[in-house]
Structure formats: C-alpha cells, structure tokens
Structure 1
Amino acid sequence: GNDFEVIDDTANQDDASITVSVDMHADEQYANVTIIGIDLDAGQEYKFDWTVHDFIPLPPVVLMENDHIWVEGNDGVETYILNFHDLPDTSNACITVVFSAGGTELETVSNVCWASASIADEDGDGVYDKNDLCENTPSGSVVQADGCSDSDGDGFDSNYEIDCNSDPNDIASIPSDLDNDGICDAQDEDIDGDGYLNLDETLAGTDPLDGLNFPANRLPTCALYYSLEVDGIPTTFEGDAVIPALSGVSAQVGIGSITPSVITIPAGSYYMTAHCIDLDGDDITLTVNDITIGPIAGEVSAGALIVIGESVNETIDVTISWTDGSDTLIATVTVNLESDSTTSPLPGFGIALGITSILLAGLATRRKNSN
C-alpha cells in the first residue's frame, strides 16, 4: 500500500491534504499520475515537489523530478496530472510527492509505483517518445534513431546541418569539425582546438585553423605602487607607479641572480602593492613576500604594509613572484630609508621595522579558453 508521512499542522492548514493515484494506459504501457490537493485555503501558496525513482538498481536512480506551485483560488481543490509517456523502461517506477504550504511541509506520499515500458510516439515519427530528442518532428519527416530529422540520410540532423552551414539535402555535405570536439566549425569559438579563441588568434596574426600555430604565451606585466597608510589601501591603479614594469628572472634561474630594483622613501607607513595584468586573460598567481593571491583570471593585486622608523638605517627587501601557470618570474625590490628624512618617528615603533601583510585582489574577464 501507499506510505504516508504527515507533518505537524500549520496554523491555517489543519485540513489540507493530498491523494496520489496511478492510471495505466495499457495500450501504450505508460502511466498518468494524478495528484489532488483538497481542503485548500483560498489565497494560500501551495507546492507539490515530486520525484520519480527507478527502484530496480540500488541505490535507486532518479528518472524525473519537478514541482508545481500555485496560489489557491476559491474552490479548495487542485488537480495536477503528470503524463509519463517518455519515462525510461523500468518494472518499478515509484513517485514521491512532498506537499507544502507557504514553505511548510504538510505531507509526504511515497511508494506509489508502476511498471513502465512505454511505446508512446506522440509525433508519429516511428521513434518512441522515451528515445525521441525531437518530440515535434513534422509528420512524414525522415528521422534518425534519436527522432530528429535527417533529410539526406547522412546521420546529421537537418536543423543542425543548417546551423553548421552544410546542406541538409546533400548526403555528401556534412558539418566540418576540425578538432573533432563535437562542435561544428561554424559554431566553434576555437576551431583548431589549441586553446586559443579564433578571434584572439586572428588579432595575434596566427592561424585559427592550425592547432600547431598559436600565439606565444605572454607573461603578466606587473607594476609596483606605494601609498601612505593614512591614504588607505589602493583599490585603483590609475596613478604613476614607482616601478611601472617590474623586471624579473625566471624561476629556473633563481632568486640569487636577481639584481634588485631600489626605491627610497621617507620614514613612515606605506602600502607596497604589486599589480599584475595578463593580456592573454590567463589565471595569475601573485606572491608578495609570503602572501599569495590567486589564481585569478586576467588581473590580480597583492601587497604588504611597510613601516619604517626614522632612525632605521637598514633596508628591507620585498620579494615578488608572478605566474600565469606556464611561466614564472621573480623580482626583488629593496626599500631604503631616505637619509635626510625629517619625518617624525611613528609612535610605538622607535627603530623597529616591520611588515604586516595586506591582501588585495582584482578580477578581469578571461578570454582564453581554459581547456
């Protein structure tokens, strides 16, 4: 029999309930399921959530699911009929219906089951609805095994051929697919499958039809900015950079071979921020000292707060590395204190020099394919 689970009544729904029944179409071997809500309150929003499982495999497999939401009128009854003419074959299809009002679950009905072996063919194309991907094929159309039309019998749906610029009435004319990715060339944004969009290859002067001819990888370009702490963390990078283009060495060469860039600043507290942009739209990972941000597509920023007391005669090195996943560069910037600085010592710092990590991040649209 049917299993019913009744949830505690809500204030205005003591009488609302549902029935669930199955009506078999013996001639075409499929079921209609009728759900009826009764004793409903006018103006109340109700919902049927239903799921059909195939209970032959273990664990059961979901075959179909959906919901039905409505606001009740004045008759107090709602009848909802589900037609399962296209349900996959199973000897034990079971529906579960969850009935709720205003977001509160009122009742669950389960264990309403039937055997389904549907031979329904609503568009009359000779392909059962359960296998038909084109349910409204015009009568008399030549179709493939999936129920979609194929006027010339070349194995490609006629509408697909039209979209792909081949002739649906010529068996010798079929959609081209250079990289065999299942997307015809007329609709493929990366025809040769080299990971670069056709438009980007055209702009770069490479051949979008040759998978071995593609733009050389462009590393992110990075600039270094600094600003007084009192001015806040920089969120835009429209002003002049203290180092407009950081010069780095490859990770293979190693940090020991780096000739640091040098900047000199008065005593005080500064945000030192590296800002990198990748013109290829690649994911960038940026590290400043021991702080890493990314990967983030196209544009990323990271930085540190540097505090220098007036009597400090030492220097501090800031190490910056950036990668687009293909190549990595490392740079070092040496920050010196101006010897003639007249800035008053910051309270509480004395001769101390410290770094506090500050994380910043930016996001740009990735243009290059991720495959």
Structure 2
Amino acid sequence: MTDMMNNVIDSGEDTWIAPPNSKSWVLDFNHVTNGNYCLKVNLYAAQILVHMQNDCWTQASTADADSDGVLDADDMCPYDPVVANDANGDGCEDVDDTDGDGMDDDWENFYNTDPYVDDGAGDLDGDGVSNLDEFTNGTNPASSDTDEDFVNDGVDVCPLVWGDMANGCLTPINLPPICDIYFSLEMNGMVISGSAAIPAIPPMIPGGIGPQEIQVPAGTYYIIAVCTDPEGDMVTATINGVTIGPAATATVGAVINITENVEATVDVTVTWTDGVNTLTGAISITVAGGTNFVPDADGDGYTPGFTAAIGVMSLLGAAIAMRRRRL
C-alpha cells in the first residue's frame, strides 16, 4: 500500500496452492491517517506475473475511541474523554493558567509563584532569568543555579546539566584517532586496498593488550599505518621512528624483509596522536606456517619508513611488474 506520494505504507505477500482456484484476503491497516492511498496487487503463477491490479481510495476515518467528539485522527489524547475545558479542540484537557501569564497553575503552586497574578516577567530567584523563561527552559525559578555547578542560570549555557567549564557546560571529550594496519608486497607498491589486516589497532596496555600479530609468507612487504580522527582533528603518525603529519589522513609505512630459513620476529611500533590523545600500538610479524621473519642485512629488522605518496608508489610498482612480465 502506498500514499499519493508513492511512499510505501505497508507491504507483504501470501501464497496458496490451487485448488481452490480463488482465495480471499482481508487487509487491516492500523493507524492510517486521513488522505489518499492506493493498493497494488500482483498475481504470480510459478513466478510468472499473470495479473496486476491497482485500486485507490480516499481515507476518511470517523473513529472516536473516547467519544469526546474529536476524531482519533485529530485527537492528541484519543483515550481521554474530555468533554469540557478544551478550548483549542485538540482532544486534551487544557492546563489551567488562571492568571494567563503563560505558566501552568500547577507549576506556579509547586514553585511558589502566584497563580492569580501575572508574574511571568518577575524573577523569583534573582538570577536574571524571568519566571516565564524559567518555565519555558525547564529551570528552577526558585534557584539561581538549577544544576548546582556554581554557574548562575543567567549565564549558564547548559543550565540543566552540571558542567565543569566557566560557561556551565562539561568539557567535551576529545576522541582519539584510529589507525588501520595494511600490508602489501613491495613489488606491488605501497598499495592500500581491501580490508585492513588489523582494523583500528588497539593501543598497548601494560598487563593487558599486547602486540598484535600478522602472519604472511616469506617476501618483502610494506607495513602501512593509515590514521584518521573521528572528529576531523589533524593526526600525526609514527611507525618505527618515521613520522608523517599532522594531516587529515596520516599514512606512514616501513618495508619488512622476510626469509624462511631463520627464526625471528619483526616488531613494528606505531604511535599516533591528535595533539590531545597519544597512543602506541605494537605489531609482531611472523612467517605464515610457523617460520618467523628475519631482520634485514643491517640487523634492525626493517628498512626505514616510507613517506612517499601512495599513488606514486602504486604506479611505480605496477610499471615494474609490467616490465617484468614483458621480459
């Protein structure tokens, strides 16, 4: 079923096996507002469309559940049988405001303002906020500091929530940046594609989270960290001593040389910061199948990090691969 703007209101399907050669359905649509609607039915036989029918009608509900003379479609209180004190005709009992100052009598009685005198412009607690504005804002007209954060309601930007700043609001929490770890064969270039080997690498926690592990076959690889901030802050990332940033996306990498015949583990350290939060994570890289990586010739376990543009490295890698195939 759709409305006249072709928005789907309800839908469904049912199946029957003939014989019998006909079947009837009764469709109920609850809480449909007044307006124009259409019902479209498609009949399939063995997944072949054999008939279509589209019928439209005007919905004009006459339901009045609480018998108050206001139709349910227009009744803001459809189960409240108001028969009096409903000047605006919304089906709800009007709130008393004897003095017409915009503040409910019950509210005035509770806070000890005068329900029989128009005192909306008054300021019971002397905080610079009128009684009527206190009523509208939901603050306490009998307290100059509703949220008790030692900031007067008249200057408190967040008067209903305790705050630790001079404007009465809480210091916003700065979310830390996130780093995803990728790797690619050196011959393919410094390429970032597909799923991250370690998405959102967790920071190391003493006695808790330790190094993350990546296992790959023997070869030479780029280990790449791609760091961004969920709030859009500039990020600086460092991998094994090489730093990139600050940048909206800080991408930094290192080349790892791997052989199969010597047992070792290559450790990579990643540090990332947005200027407020500084985190450090570690990666242990081993050879898939149980044999471990070995450091490169100079014994430091990695070639210094790369800061070249990813796009350039990718093109160079592709060119080298093509030339090798042609040879």
TM-score range, shorter chain: 0.3 to 0.5
Higher strand share: 1
TM-score norm. by structure 2 comes to: 0.38
TM-score, scaled to structure 1: 0.34
